Amino acid sequence: MKRADLLLIWVLLMAVAALAVAPWIGPKMLSPSLLWSNEDALDATILRGIRLPRVLTAFVAGAALALGGMTFQALFRNPLATPYTLGLAGGASFAAALAIQLGLSTSFLGLSSVSLAAFAGACGVILLVFALTRMRADFSTATLLLAGVALGFFFSSMILAMQYLSDPTRTFHMLRWMMGGLEGTAGYRDLWAVLVPAAPAAAMLAALRNEMNLLTLGEEWAVGRGVALVRTKALLLGLVGWMVASVVAICGPIGFVGLIVPHICRLLVGPDHRRLFPVTLAFGGTFLVICDTAARTVLAPTEIPVGIITSLLGGPFFLWLLIRQSPSGSSL
């Protein structure tokens, strides 16, 4: 397994390189001379006050979404699972759209009402899912998956109805929010708003890597090896839900990172979550940093929503994945 260890180091180096290079790139290219001279105060402010926190936020968000996708793909034993599979993005979007429609302007800890509403909406969906699993003890993960899809459709039709009844400015605002992106993030406050809730959840997920390995082998097999199934599943659901809710609140429902990154990483280092976890974390972060850099640079001074870039890269990859996938579904 020398190759996998080399790849792990390679991915980690790539992450460091992306974090080091991305803040200098943008509509205004910054000169490396900023590192040793103090002559351009504006550029220094752009670098330290705007670019650096944004790049770091993108890294944290990408890592959290990718880890969420990886965990759900293991939990549901389904290669198509994403962190939004249980309708989390739908709930967040609906609540955010509602906040926009009502023109709420309260804020808490410097976070906007839309962010707060999105966070509440996402948490609401997690609680709803928990309630569903409580209602029937024999709720299988397959049923849970279908319930999540149904919830997602329910929320998207509620959003459509709201957009239809709303005025064009608000509709555009809702639409823009749902594309996801980082251009709305403001400095270190948003970085902390994502990092502080997500980091402990990710650390706890890291402690559950053996359980994820056993769950990919099937629930019955995992129980036979000593996994406390009900508790472990609830923990994984709750941790991913919490982590992804905090990302979605700040960055909106950025798509495809949570679907494609775990798959790329599995192709690189194999199915063992002990190695897959750090690689997915680093690769997810790197991927979103690169996509966000492209989003703010390609059509500068106009920004493209990063959700469009991730999907532009993600769509073709997804098709390729479907074509090369063997009939036995051994990609997971």
Partner 1 sequence: MPDAPVVLRVENLSLTLGGKAILHNVSFHLHGGEYVCLVGANGSGKTTLLRCLIGYCGSYTGRILWWGQCRSTISQRYLARRVAYVPQGEGRSAPFSVVDFVMLARYPHWDLFRSPGPQDRQAVRRALQLTDSEHLAERVVGSLSGGERQRVCLAAALAQEAEVLLLDEPTTFLDYRHQEDLRRLLTRFNRECGVTILAVTHDLNAAVLSGERVLALRDGQLAFQGAPTELMCPDVLKRIYAAELILTPHPTAQLPMVLPSVPGELS
Is 187 an interacting residue with respect to partner 1 (CB under 8 A)? no
Is 2 an interacting residue with respect to partner 1 (CB under 8 A)? no
User: Which positions ≥6 away from 80 have C-beta within 8 Å?
Assistant: 259
Distance CA 243, CA 202 (A): 7
Smaller CB separation from partner 1, 105 or 330: 330
Distance CA 332, CA 267 (A): 9
Smaller CB separation from partner 1, 115 or 141: 141
Distance CA 15, CA 81 (A): 25
Contact code string over 221-240 relative to partner 1, x by CB under 8 A: x-xxxxxxx-----------
User: In the structure encoding, which two tokens stand for residue 89, read together?
Assistant: 């993005």
> If binding means CB under 8 A, how many residues of this protein chain bind partner 1?
27
Is 264 an interacting residue with respect to partner 1 (CB under 8 A)? no
Nearest distance from residue 203's CB to partner 1, in Å? 12
Residue 253: phi and psi, rounded to 5, are: -80, 80
Q: Which of 271, 317, 318, 325 binds partner 1 (CB under 8 A)?
A: 271
Smaller CB separation from partner 1, 110 or 224: 224
Q: Report the amino acid identity of residue 147.
A: A
In this structure, the number of other CB atoms found within 10 A of the CB of residue 321 comes to 18
Compute the residue count for the chain. 332
Is 328 an interacting residue with respect to partner 1 (CB under 8 A)? yes
Closest CA to 75 of 235, 251, 191: 235
Is 218 an interacting residue with respect to partner 1 (CB under 8 A)? yes
Is 113 an interacting residue with respect to partner 1 (CB under 8 A)? no
For binding to partner 1 (CB under 8 A), which residues are involved?
A: 137-138, 207, 210, 213-214, 216-221, 223-229, 270-272, 274, 328-330, 332
